[in-house]
Structure 1
Amino acid sequence: MSRTVAEQLVELLKSAGIRRIYGVTGDSLNFFNDALRRDGSIDWIHVRHEEAGAYAAMVEGVLGGIGCCAGSSGPGHVHLINGLYDAHRWGAPVLALASTITSEDYGTESFQSTDLDMFDGCSYYNEVATTPLQLPRMLQQALQHAWNRKGVGVCAFPGDLMTCNADDEALCADLYRPQPVMTPSDAEIELLAELINSSENIGIYAGVGCAEARAEVIELARLLNAPMAYTLKAKMMLEYDNPYAVGLTGLLGNKAGARAITGGKLLLMLGSDFPWKEFLDSSVRIVQIDTKPERLGRRVALHMGLCGDIGPTLRKLLPLINPKVEEKFLNACLADYVEVEEDLRVHATDPGEENLIKPEFVAAMINRLADVDAIFTADTGMSTVWAARYLQGTGKRTLIGSFSHGSMANAMPQSIGAALHSPERQVIAFCGDGGISMLMGDIMTIAQYKLPIKLIVFNNRSLGMVELEMQVAGLPDWQTKMINPDFAMVAEACGIRGYLVTKPDKLENSLQEALLHNGPALVDVFTNPHVPTLPPHTSVGVMSRYVQSQAKLALGGRMDEVWDAFRTNIKYIRDL
């Protein structure tokens, strides 16, 4: 008896290792969903919003394997887009199944029709299969692109295709996972070694491309007496047990990381597509090594640009390096880092006051109480700031966010993917009040599947990062304040354990209870909205514009806010 295309699609997904599909069933997905139901091997995770499904699938790709999400017809496709952009920009392999209107309705502006070209900007492969012969071939291509290029592959199809008889003589639909090793040529390696051996005061800036090359990067730093700054994506892998680590740079960084990448004579940028060109110094000779040659030099002019995997490349380079004796540059960066760490520690010991709990106090406590192998997700904005500064790597922890795309509302749906992919690990989401309220419906997904996720809401009653952006531009913050529900009560209404924390002395017990609870829990913490997040270099101009913004608030009748901000910020301004 012949099988349908829907049944064939299920078999192909199983053979590719797909274990879950995140989506909202209905319309053009119905026959495919029925085939999933009858087979029973792949779980359908019923999210409340397709964007949440794309984010959950992204995390499955980040943690290992290929994530999969689905959207039906036009509205479902549009809802997927933001999460797919995030996955694609992160480099997470994700397969998106996009079912659409019936074949006979193509080109007639039918109900729920949209242009599938919308996926082009957030995928490496985006094609529509319209015949039984095409579908397995196109699915294989979407999977190959997603896995081997590390991004999104979209396989679209009209809903009625699922009811057709499958063509079992279609070309191979297997997923191939080659592991090529890429290094610069021997001549390029020799030129790089000559440059390094003839240079002094060398800094290293390491990105997520160093994830599988930790030992080699640290050995390079040892030979060169080089301070090592790193990206947020690489923090959990490179920070721990690393005597050359000096922290982050960029908007989330510190003066030690900034000195490491701008204060020397030569910078080795390894496995990083660092986006913040204003934090790089064009007077420093920069060598960039990346697996994708199109990334070379797109942030800053390079002295040398090389293409290769960091581990194999460094294994060829290290025997050619002459050890450095001079330690002055390294020691200066390490001394800065000691000061930075002490400042962070001091700020984390200040609990704040009622309704104005210090977010540093909260983040440091979570870091202390969390499991050694916890998975953390962090919303874009202030939540990411506190995660970056206070969550410590152990070699087993993972931190995921929207670090390349910069979207709001990512942490909670990402935690869904983390909990389902790795049920043996603790999952903690650093949520902003703005972020969690944007996709709040998917709290019900957590409740429905009884996922033991711990949602920590840094509730500062504002869009904190946007407010800061306005202030440093000299503008009074406007339309950033938020009137929130009691998130703990919302959680309880959904069947999730909820805790409301407005007093610092209640925080530790609430966090401990939430973390020990064997089901989902939400802790709503009223944090101080006035705590500043200062970049490594805060210019006189930035401070002047900040003062102007506060003056405008005072003149606008918001003197109470200005006074609260002054009381909070004076402690931080003294550190400048």
Structure 2
Amino acid sequence: MENKVSWHKVLNSREELAEGRVKTVTVSHKGICLTHFEGKISALDNRCPHQGGPLGEGSIENGLLRCPWHGWDFHPCTGKPPGGYDDGVEVFEVKEEHDGIYVGVPEEEEHKKTISDIMVETMVNWGVTKVFGMVGHSNLGFADAMKRQEQKGKLEFFGVRHEGAAAFAVSAYGKLTGKPAACFTIAGPGATNLYTGMWDAKVDRAPFMALTGQVATQVVGTGNFQEVDLVQAFNTAAEFNHRVQRDSRHAELMSLAVKHAILKRDISHLTFPDEVQEIEAMENAKPLGPEDRITGLDIAPPQAAVDKALSLIKNSKRPLIIMGHGARAHKKAVVKFAEDLNAPVVTTFKGKGLIADSHPLGCGVLGRSGTPIASWFMNESDLLIVFGASFSNHTGITSKKPTIQVDFDPMALSKFHKVDAAVWGEISRTLKIFEAGLKGYPEFPDQRKEVAERWAIWRKEKEKRLGETSETGLSSIAVFDAMNKLSPKNAVMCVDVGNNAYSFGRYFEPEEHDFLMSGYLGSIGFALPAAMGAWAAVGNSRPVVAVAGDGGLCQYLAEITTLVKYNMPVKVIVLNNFELGKISKEQRAAELDVWQTSLSNPNFAEYAVSCGAWGKRVSQASELEAAMKELFQQEGCGLLEVITDVSLI
């Protein structure tokens, strides 16, 4: 039985297509080449039968329609090539009505599920519902499957301007939520652009899904256009790394990819050869989900480690608690434990904000980006109790104090030096066991008064620094002092790399904030795309703020247009000192000349306005608070540019 013909209007009149011209139209997802030749409007299949070239982009020369890709000729009305060859193109019926020109094509068959449909539905069932990336020629079948899920309201896709930004957004989403989002690219350069963001997620232990298109399998190994062996290329970064084959167990493969990302807190990568994506799924193929496929992680520590830790705690008079990023999901439990011990709490830079600076036991950030309060209490302590921290050089946790380390990852325990009690266990579960073991034990000395005294000393010092002025620009402390007063108290703060980050860690006083940064990788350019990932996680339930230097912001500056397109009300604050100031500082510290660190910048505020966002530039201290207040009052995205002095950090 022949398919019914469906008629579609393609021109309002024949005058819309001049004699001797051609054009492409799409009807019922079918590409049609319209031709106007010798007074007749004709409709041909738009795909050249040889390489798939778009005939509607060709031209009529010497009475023949020429393919724009390889020059093969067809008759503009019959679709037949000269010379009696049998490689012509299909022709469709055309009729002219009073209101325009119509083309008749067979009615579309009902969509049949593809391999991509099964894999996307499985991914969504596992909770991966946010995707950042770019649609292109080698991922169209998978993109079409995601479109169907988006139309059902089960998935959100954010088209970015650079795949590197997609990777940072996905990394930030994983850091904030502990769950994976996905980034999506074409083969070749689209996929390789993910590499930096993938490593950022990997070293900071954030779950991450990478989905890449791939050239058709039949041309692999021939040096085909955009051919890169992506499984081999991502082998060092991805914990789970596979090519999807025609006969793969597709739902199981996607399930394992998501499961690895969640449980390993690592990178999963699947690459999809072009020809596999639109293959019809087997009749019995069903998407899968996580039901009874993933275990709880609330493991208890070994008793010997608990006993050793409790002995150290009971013999301590001045314990100090250190929280790293790995304690993010357990911050309330850790703070309660600190209150029970009357112990001050400091954080690593990546853990900034896990306890408010206004808390009577909160002492700010430890290390190079930190406060003298935090370093004071580490020096004065007689025991360090460390939760979810990695002991990086940047943090500078001393190895000369008795130390208890609690972490879910046994490889993180005693990683850089031996600790006195290495406790492998889920943090909240471990704390319950600690609390039970300390029940009835005499109250620990209260250090709150000393915390308040150290804060008073530090705030007095900050007041002095606030008085430092310059004709060149504002001081960093002035910017963060204004942010302390005006920024929303529950915002997600995304910070870049550079002097702006050091000043942020030192001067900004968190309340109910969450903080996202490129920790171990320390990659410049993180803040703006990270804010996109953060917004995908929290939506409009919380404000999202990106804090960047001029060097970092320029790396992904075009993503301002992404904020505008998807109505992401992200607020960007850029400290513009026309220099890679941190690098200049490092050159001086190495007793070298300052070289090639100056920058030629646009007017960032005007650029934001040109993209459709709100923008304002401030160069005077007297203008700062009013402008920042205006920024945070904007309903949509906005950018505040502050001209700063590179020497006042």
**TM-score, length-scaled by structure 1:** 0.86
Map of 2:532 onto structure 1: 416
Map of 1:501 onto structure 2: 618
Map of 2:363 onto structure 1: 246
Following TM superposition, by how much is the alpha carbon of 1:299 offset from its aligned partner in structure 2, in angstroms? 2.2
Which amino acid counterpart does residue 166 of structure 1 have in structure 2? A
Which amino acid counterpart does residue 367 of structure 1 have in structure 2? N
Map of 2:167 onto structure 1: 54
Does 2:328 match 1:211?
yes
Say if 1:483 and 1:183 are closer, same or farther in 2 by CA, change over 3 A: same
Say if 1:293 and 1:343 are closer, same or farther in 2 by CA, change over 3 A: same
Question: What does residue range 321-470 of structure 1 map to in structure 2 within 5 Å?
Answer: 321=438, 322-323=441-442, 325-326=444-445, 335-348=453-466, 350=467, 352-395=469-512, 397-424=513-540, 425-470=542-587
Which amino acid counterpart does residue 402 of structure 2 have in structure 1? R
Greater RCO, 1 or 2 (C-alpha within 8 Å, sep 6+) = 1
Does 2:256 match 1:141?
yes
Matched position secondary structure for 2:289: coil
Matched position secondary structure for 2:575: strand
Does 2:588 match 1:475?
no
Say if 1:336 and 1:88 are closer, same or farther in 2 by CA, change over 3 A: same
Q: Where has structure 1 moved over 6 Å in runs of 4 or more? A: none
Matched position secondary structure for 2:236: helix
Partners of 1:13 and 1:279 in 2: CA distance: 40
Does 2:282 match 1:129?
no
Map of 1:87 onto structure 2: 201
Most deviating of 400-409 and 273-282: 273-282
Partners of 1:160 and 1:286 in 2: CA distance: 56
Following TM superposition, by how much is the alpha carbon of 1:33 offset from its aligned partner in structure 2, in angstroms? 1.6
Aligned length: 529
Does 2:236 match 1:96?
no
Which amino acid counterpart does residue 239 of structure 2 have in structure 1? Y
Matched position secondary structure for 2:645: coil
Query: Aligned-residue CA RMSD in angstroms?
Result: 2.4
Which amino acid counterpart does residue 157 of structure 1 have in structure 2? F
Matched position secondary structure for 1:162: coil
Following TM superposition, by how much is the alpha carbon of 1:85 offset from its aligned partner in structure 2, in angstroms? 1.4
CA contact (8 A) 1:280 1:300 kept: no
Following TM superposition, by how much is the alpha carbon of 1:412 offset from its aligned partner in structure 2, in angstroms? 0.7
Following TM superposition, by how much is the alpha carbon of 1:300 offset from its aligned partner in structure 2, in angstroms? 2.3
Partners of 2:558 and 2:478 in 1: CA distance: 29
Partners of 1:325 and 1:441 in 2: CA distance: 54
More helix by share: 1
Following TM superposition, by how much is the alpha carbon of 1:243 offset from its aligned partner in structure 2, in angstroms? 2.1
Say if 1:85 and 1:16 are closer, same or farther in 2 by CA, change over 3 A: same
> 5+ unaligned residues in a row in structure 1: which ranges?
533-576
CA contact (8 A) 2:349 2:395 kept: no
Matched position secondary structure for 1:484: coil
Which amino acid counterpart does residue 62 of structure 1 have in structure 2? K
Following TM superposition, by how much is the alpha carbon of 1:257 offset from its aligned partner in structure 2, in angstroms? 1.5
Say if 1:317 and 1:344 are closer, same or farther in 2 by CA, change over 3 A: same
Does 2:137 match 1:19?
no
Map of 1:45 onto structure 2: 158
Following TM superposition, by how much is the alpha carbon of 1:443 offset from its aligned partner in structure 2, in angstroms? 1.8
CA contact (8 A) 2:369 2:503 kept: no
Identity of aligned residues (%): 26
Which amino acid counterpart does residue 165 of structure 1 have in structure 2? E
Which amino acid counterpart does residue 44 of structure 1 have in structure 2? F
Matched position secondary structure for 1:140: helix
CA contact (8 A) 2:320 2:343 kept: yes
Q: 1:33 aligns with which of 135, 143, 146?
A: 143
**TM-score, length-scaled by structure 2:** 0.77
Q: 1:105 aligns with which of 214, 219, 225?
A: 219
CA contact (8 A) 1:120 1:126 kept: yes
Which amino acid counterpart does residue 598 of structure 2 have in structure 1? K
Which amino acid counterpart does residue 163 of structure 2 have in structure 1? E
Q: 2:640 aligns with which of 520, 523, 548?
A: 523
Partners of 2:536 and 2:437 in 1: CA distance: 45
Matched position secondary structure for 1:279: coil
Say if 1:251 and 1:118 are closer, same or farther in 2 by CA, change over 3 A: farther
Say if 1:139 and 1:199 are closer, same or farther in 2 by CA, change over 3 A: same
More strand by share: 2
Matched position secondary structure for 1:409: coil
CA contact (8 A) 2:323 2:354 kept: no
Which amino acid counterpart does residue 439 of structure 1 have in structure 2? Y
CA contact (8 A) 2:353 2:511 kept: yes
CA contact (8 A) 1:355 1:503 kept: no
Partners of 2:173 and 2:395 in 1: CA distance: 33
Matched position secondary structure for 1:275: coil
Q: Deviations over 1:398-431 (max 9, x none)?
A: 2111122210001111111222332322221101
Partners of 1:447 and 1:221 in 2: CA distance: 43
Following TM superposition, by how much is the alpha carbon of 1:170 offset from its aligned partner in structure 2, in angstroms? 5.4
Matched position secondary structure for 1:95: strand
Which amino acid counterpart does residue 133 of structure 1 have in structure 2? S
Following TM superposition, by how much is the alpha carbon of 1:224 offset from its aligned partner in structure 2, in angstroms? 4.0
Q: 1:231 aligns with which of 337, 344, 348?
A: 348
CA contact (8 A) 1:210 1:311 kept: no
